[in-house]
Amino acid sequence: MCLGIPGEVIEFLPDQPDLARVDVSGVRRVINVGLLSDDPPKPGEWVLIHVGFALSKIDEDEAAAALEFLEGIGQAYEEELMALQESMIE
């Protein structure tokens, strides 16, 4: 729950500017980017996702490091990723 998962923004959903499709370790899911409305991410940029919400923008290097870290912690990340895969907020 507290893990921040890096995702790459692919596109925004038409008519729903708060929702964006992101790529997380090859899995595409819709997340809410409303908390970044002061400085919205663009497609191709990376965000740190907490429980379905992008909480901060990060650069690609930080995303790679965060992902490597998460993969290293094993089970907790796998569970979080599985939960994210099942999440269908749109």
Partner 1 sequence: MRFVDEFRNADQAHALSAKIAGLCEPGRHYKFMEVCGGHTHTIYKHGLEDYLPESVELVHGPGCPVCVIPMGRVDDAMHLAANPAVIMTSFGDMMRVPGSNGSFFDAKAQGTDIRMVYSPLDSLKIARQNPDKRVVFMAIGFETTAPSTAMTVLRAAAEGLENFSIFCNHVTIVPAIKAILDSPDLRLDGFIGPGHVSTVIGCRPYEFIARDYGKPVVVAGFEPLDILQSIYMLMLQLSEGRSAVENQYTRVVPWDGNLVALKAIGETMELRPYFEWRGLGFISHSALRMRADYARFDAELLFDVPGVRVADPKACQCGEVLKGVLKPWECKVFGTACTPETPIGTCMVSPEGACAAYYNFGRLSRKRVKEVSNS
* CA dist., res. 42 & res. 20, Å (int): 10
Binding status of residue 13 toward partner 1 by CB under 8 A = no
* CA dist., res. 34 & res. 81, Å (int): 21
Q: Which of 21, 23, 45, 53 binds partner 1 (CB under 8 A)?
A: 53
Binding status of residue 68 toward partner 1 by CB under 8 A = yes
CA distances from 17 to 21, 22, 84 (A): 11, 14, 20
Binding status of residue 7 toward partner 1 by CB under 8 A = no
* CA dist., res. 74 & res. 31, Å (int): 23
Residues that bind partner 1 (CB under 8 A): 1-4, 32, 34-38, 48, 50-53, 55-56, 58-59, 61-62, 64-66, 68-69, 72-73, 75-76, 79-80, 83-84, 86-89
